[in-house]
Amino acid sequence: MTRAIYLFLGLGFTALGVVGAFLPLLPTPVFLILAAGCFAKSSPRMEAWILDHKDFGPLVRGWRENGAIPRKAKVLACTGMAGGFALFFLSVHPKPWLAVAVAAALAACALFVVSRPGARQ
């Protein structure tokens, strides 16, 4: 039963990753990293498919091996977070405490992303 749950989650994360390849607000690599982790516990064939994928494989392998994020992905992630905050701030007009809380959470996420080693080419 546990294997089936991991397989189901892996397929769901893979679907979100594929959709994220076309929608800029969904982070494709994150979902594929999660999918590969789920497939490691449920389907070695699907895990190998992600790890060997010509576009996404290097990102997932780099994360697994070194916790690495390529520089371009770091820039895109931080830019996306800043843009998301700007959209939130301009469209929702949050109370100051909420704006500070959201900004702090996004800043913590950005610090994590920036602190990861760069992926080897």
Average pLDDT, the chain: 90
Give the whole-number percent of the chain exceeding pLDDT 70.
97
pTM for this structure? 0.74
Q: How far apart (Å, rounded) are the C-alpha atoms in residues 36 and 110?
A: 23
Per-residue pLDDT band at 80 (split at 50, 70, 90)? confident
Q: How far apart (Å, rounded) are the C-alpha atoms in residues 121 and 101?
A: 36
Summarised one tens digit per residue, pLDDT across range 2-34 is 999 999 999 999 999 888 888 766 778 888 999
